[in-house]
Amino acid sequence: MKSSHKMISAFAICGAVIAVAPASADDVAGARPGDDAMTCQQIAAELAPYAQQMAAAFTPFVDTEKQLVARGQARVEQYTPAAAAMAGAATASTADPTGLSSKAVGQAEVAMQREAWNRSLAEDKPLADQANQQLNQAVAQATPLQSNERIQRLMQLAEQKNCQ
């Protein structure tokens, strides 16, 4: 993906987070002479400083989210052998004509899932709280850009020209 496309994409994502709605076709606030002739690359170049400012604000949040995802993946790897064993036990329990062993295996599986869920909530709470705080800070930093008429005009042009 070209650099200009990355900038427009990054800005569009951040804009969605702070609910930046592109201006309507009738609203030309923030317009400058020659806007209609701008290329996607030129639009991206003008949006770049704003996108960089917003990206810097969102970077700590993204880093924390990556840590949460990595923890989740590690837990999946940790619980996979037990889940496989539980699946084997569930298959074997179907041979019990009374159904008592199936019920016991089902209860054990629910207990294992509940334990894993509660453990993940407890272990991840500090990081999840940190991520929420970082997101709120980033949105607070980006919110003033919502009223920037020039940014809204550039976003409108990017949409009109189908810039990626």
Q: What pLDDT, on the 0 to 100 scale, is given for residue 22?
A: 45
Alpha-carbon torsion 21, 163, 25, 49, what sign?
A: positive
For residues 13 and 134, the answer to whether their CB atoms sit within 8 Å is no
Q: 149, 144, 154: which is closest to 18 by C-alpha?
A: 144
Instruction: List per-residue pLDDT tens for the chain, 164 residues long.
Output: 444 444 455 555 555 544 444 444 444 788 899 999 999 999 999 999 988 888 888 999 999 999 999 999 999 999 999 999 999 999 999 999 999 999 999 999 999 999 999 999 999 999 999 999 999 999 998 888 888 899 989 999 999 999 98
Q: What pLDDT, on the 0 to 100 scale, is given for residue 104?
A: 94
Q: Output the pTM of the full model.
A: 0.63
Other CB atoms within a 10 A radius of the CB of residue 32 amount to 11
